[in-house]
Structure 1
């Protein structure tokens, strides 16, 4: 076994690999960029080396050599499926913890992989490696534009009509080049309402290949997995054996060595049929659900196989496991990435609960890397029990200071289609995030600021006559407090009392019902659980009303603001151009996701940014002014 292993990754997967290295008595070396200097994986490793980029093969190898590493574990993403890294490791005498160059080259190219497995008799989805209008017509609409390299749904775009193709190709190439260093694309027929089922494999250099059962990964948004489980509630015993053997045959065809995953599309209407999509020649984000139902440590077996040991595992699946990915995103704003500082963190523990995370209090969540922050995983003897256990674990997860999808994850788990196992990859696209009607967070946030109620304003003042109610505005809701009575909007008043039990622990008593909460304030923002409440003064509201009056009949704010923090990657117009409502102005990228900003109204555009500019949330990127002949609004 190796003495020292360098982990060429970051975040929760780096922490996950380091944990197994330490359990096996192996020295762990981390790498980090300037933005990750204080990251958790850096502090958990035995040694850490600074590099300029996680995508730099030269930098990773230099760090490995200087640290005396025997092997490099690439995690997932970044260079994990890069044949050039494997080739460079061979030349440098460092073991690459992954498959050989042939497997990486064949399966790392989706075009070549489909041709390879099709020749071997494995059914594939119709597609084309030629990317132009004629090829798109042959494949047929609707179709999917996919980067040939990489994975995780990055760069994928659905094209419904021919007039959408050109823009989709430009955006997909840009994302693919930034995320994977390769902008090669392919076209693929879009299969409506499919199920995404993948098979986990282990294979050693002695020719032994084993499959460890399948995972259901059909709950996705924008082709990005959200919730995964093992085993799939769809497959019967016979189909499980057939799809497992098909996956093993794919691995044998390229002499695969290590841990890998073969992904299939399965029709819900014909669950005994499956189509090869791709092979991921690395560890998967969702590998914990397989570990929980098999009892195996996949990272340990990656290391043992890379060290030349034979594969000696007895595979038996027990119970059911389900995983939820916690993302830094705002479901209320179309799931756009969010940034912030982790002010309060409490991760769940207990029987059947596992958390893979790199979070810590004080951690800055920026816009450079993937928005996934952590994974919460639950195991139980059956599927219903695993879902219930995961839901309770998410309920006990407190992450204050950055907007996350935790409440949305619980909404997904409560969906009747999900609970019944009637899944498909488009299911979440029709599930609108619920707007919390619960007044508990709102009242708790307001009472935390009320004089004499453990707020930040000190003791109450005095005045002649009756005390006037204190009024607050949170978003579009007005809340008034008079004595022990709180009124929210036009609702009936309630008797409310807030008691602080710790630095961030409070109890809110509403009409005799006690609600334990986590609460922290950061300037004008108060976080109650995962709910962010931003206070607005009456002066700010009056200013908004004045703007609305002077705007006259104009339908929108003339200032165009960035919907998320990120980097301007392209600009489609020039200052002085005449634009119409809905016209694309520019594109902003954050956390490997692109968002196209459009004009809110007709008028003349004045740009405030250029390509490569970094912008914050709500940063003004352009202004739309009326035409000279519109006159002055009354």
Structure 2
């Protein structure tokens, strides 16, 4: 049957995945249509597309999640098909049906397959009937809290609570003891409802120290289904993948073939079409005992590692399959060559328990070439806010073997610069050098166990030296050759009748105490517009710089000026002090559990702040009384903004002797 490729495709997403899809559309000669909210009017994906359409205000619910706005944009631009990317509406059966009803091709599986595999309970029952092994857990949907708790007790602790809808680790809760079960069920429901609009939960047996292995499948509309090998996704934090690689060091050829066949059978069981991923949980000590977890009915974030070891462009094959083409290759034609590893760059601060961050990208360097690929939605001047997912980009390395790929990726992360927004790039570089990662002894709990050791909360002294050099350079007068300047107008430490004094600069990195740094008189300053070089204890250190930001080896520091006299006069540090509860990240208050005058206990959850799809509970620092409450549900807050004040209980007076 003859097929015709699309002329125009609308990309119903944003950020790095929209840029990635547009790249393949351009290579195939297909006109691309980007969509954007008010927050993304000048975003990179908007500038790289052939045309772009505004679809609404900044909140995702009013723009990227608006089916009507997306269909209207497709109609206005003459799009014949819609690529949903991942996230947002990528696994939304209603959107797939709406596209079909509007005469648009949805570049993905059928709405029926999305519905089936999107319901984790039905999905498990379906693949079990097809002979695919599944994780022991609750059966049936729509269980209430009491039934879920009873199922958890029957399975035996520890258990994993999972939303039936959605994916990406959202709403998943590991519960090791029965005591907090009710509270964890409520929290999981709340997060599932907020992320997917569906708070249905299931409960599964938790496999201790498991490995997360997933199989990439391709299925056309003519009954052909193949797999493209596996990806190891065991390096996770809070059930979110942070590093992925292909192939896995855990699997031998026999296990790879068996898991690949199981994934193919899972895809056949739901009549799948397009690119999809079948995820398995695997006991590290017995790889042959693998269990189906779920199927992601979309392109995965980590798809580049499969592309690099197979040579297939997965977005291209999504398009070709959606246009009605047959797969021209069979399973025996697929070869896995070399090794690829991917690291996700996120706007988060490892020194503050990985809380989301934000800001303006002041300086940007993203490595490419020589075995390195960066998929990114960033550009210099871009604003990173709290409305969308914190993932900014992905750095992917390819090598002839795993050690080479790891070395290349560590070097690439060291060269990655994103000044103006704190990211996890430096943390990922250190993680990739961890002995267990290097040896391939992975499990899904490794990152959580080792995170503290991989986060250096102290600010290196050379950072303050570099910041002082930048400040001093800004104060130096611009004197023409042979000119004269007033020595009393130069901050050089000059003094009558004696040696020049050191020039003191008071500096402060948020979250750390102010530090005085003395520059010796006449010290040469090696400062340019985007670099600064300093020597400390005989070692030369080079930093990238942009404004008040310094960066090196993937880490960055926002070094601010500090005026100790002004701080003393203004009484900084006085007032609420430790009684105040401040926002740990920019975001939105979603839950307020107390009112002014309420008595609270130490550690009691008082508010919930959400940013970049992550919830953070604000707890009472001590027992006391809520004396101030500055926010309500729905209030948008900045980092470190005071939310509430809890006055401690007065100690009981001792009786007079």
TM value normalised by structure 1 = 0.92
TM-aligned CA distance change 1:535 to 1:127, over 3 Å: farther
Deviations 1:199-235 (A, max 9, x none): 0000101111110000000000000000000000100
**1:240 counterpart (245, 256, 264):** 256
Tell whether the 8 Å contact from 2:109 to 2:273 is kept in structure 1 after alignment: yes
Deviations 1:106-132 (A, max 9, x none): 111111101111222211112224242
For 1:204 and 1:389, locate their aligned partners in 2 and report how far apart those are by CA, in whole Å. Answer: 35
**1:329 counterpart (348, 368, 379):** 348
**Where do residues 532-543 of structure 1 align in structure 2 (5 Å cutoff)?**
532-539=558-565, 542=568
Deviations 1:64-114 (A, max 9, x none): 111111100000011111111111122111100001122111111111101
- Name the Cα RMSD after superposition: 2.3
Tell whether the 8 Å contact from 1:497 to 1:508 is kept in structure 2 after alignment: no
For 1:38 and 1:546, locate their aligned partners in 2 and report how far apart those are by CA, in whole Å. Answer: 38
Tell whether the 8 Å contact from 1:447 to 1:453 is kept in structure 2 after alignment: no
Tell whether the 8 Å contact from 1:449 to 1:455 is kept in structure 2 after alignment: no
**Where do residues 478-517 of structure 1 align in structure 2 (5 Å cutoff)?**
478-484=515-521, 497-501=524-528, 503-510=529-536, 513-517=539-543
For 2:448, what is the secondary structure of its paired residue? helix
For 2:497 and 2:636, locate their aligned partners in 1 and report how far apart those are by CA, in whole Å. Answer: 53
| Offset at residue 459 of structure 1 (A) | 3.1
For 2:585 and 2:416, locate their aligned partners in 1 and report how far apart those are by CA, in whole Å. Answer: 24
TM-aligned CA distance change 1:122 to 1:473, over 3 Å: same
Is 1:46 the counterpart of 2:50 in the alignment? yes
> 2:167 aligns to what?
151
For 2:236 and 2:31, locate their aligned partners in 1 and report how far apart those are by CA, in whole Å. Answer: 37
| Offset at residue 454 of structure 1 (A) | 5.7
> 1:488 aligns to what?
none
Is 1:261 the counterpart of 2:277 in the alignment? yes
| Offset at residue 476 of structure 1 (A) | 2.5
**Where do residues 52-67 of structure 1 align in structure 2 (5 Å cutoff)?**
52=56, 53-67=63-77
Is 1:445 the counterpart of 2:467 in the alignment? yes
For 1:585 and 1:121, locate their aligned partners in 2 and report how far apart those are by CA, in whole Å. Answer: 47
For 2:281 and 2:569, locate their aligned partners in 1 and report how far apart those are by CA, in whole Å. Answer: 54
TM-aligned CA distance change 1:546 to 1:19, over 3 Å: closer
| Offset at residue 623 of structure 1 (A) | 0.6
For 1:153 and 1:452, locate their aligned partners in 2 and report how far apart those are by CA, in whole Å. Answer: 47
**Where do residues 226-375 of structure 1 align in structure 2 (5 Å cutoff)?**
226-313=242-329, 314-375=333-394
For 1:163, what is the secondary structure of its paired residue? coil
Is 1:618 the counterpart of 2:618 in the alignment? no
Aligned residue pairs, count: 613
Deviations 1:330-375 (A, max 9, x none): 0000000001110000111231100000111111100010000000
For 1:67 and 1:306, locate their aligned partners in 2 and report how far apart those are by CA, in whole Å. Answer: 19
**2:96 counterpart (86, 89, 92):** 86
TM-aligned CA distance change 1:88 to 1:539, over 3 Å: same
Tell whether the 8 Å contact from 2:470 to 2:527 is kept in structure 1 after alignment: no
TM-aligned CA distance change 1:147 to 1:504, over 3 Å: same
For 2:519 and 2:468, locate their aligned partners in 1 and report how far apart those are by CA, in whole Å. Answer: 12
For 1:426 and 1:540, locate their aligned partners in 2 and report how far apart those are by CA, in whole Å. Answer: 46
Deviations 1:491-539 (A, max 9, x none): xxxxx643124x21222234554333211224xx666662333443213
For 1:118 and 1:543, locate their aligned partners in 2 and report how far apart those are by CA, in whole Å. Answer: 70
| Offset at residue 140 of structure 1 (A) | 2.3
**Where do residues 19-38 of structure 1 align in structure 2 (5 Å cutoff)?**
19-38=23-42
For 2:459 and 2:650, locate their aligned partners in 1 and report how far apart those are by CA, in whole Å. Answer: 44
Tell whether the 8 Å contact from 2:601 to 2:622 is kept in structure 1 after alignment: yes
TM-aligned CA distance change 1:252 to 1:171, over 3 Å: same
TM-aligned CA distance change 1:38 to 1:127, over 3 Å: same
The answer for unaligned runs of 5 or more in structure 1 is 486-495
TM-aligned CA distance change 1:361 to 1:331, over 3 Å: same
For 2:430 and 2:551, locate their aligned partners in 1 and report how far apart those are by CA, in whole Å. Answer: 20
The answer for unaligned runs of 5 or more in structure 2 is 57-62, 479-487
| Offset at residue 452 of structure 1 (A) | 7.1
For 2:547, what is the secondary structure of its paired residue? strand
Tell whether the 8 Å contact from 1:452 to 1:458 is kept in structure 2 after alignment: no
| Offset at residue 164 of structure 1 (A) | 1.8
| Offset at residue 58 of structure 1 (A) | 1.6
For 1:411 and 1:277, locate their aligned partners in 2 and report how far apart those are by CA, in whole Å. Answer: 30
**1:114 counterpart (124, 129, 137):** 124
> 2:233 aligns to what?
217
TM value normalised by structure 2 = 0.89
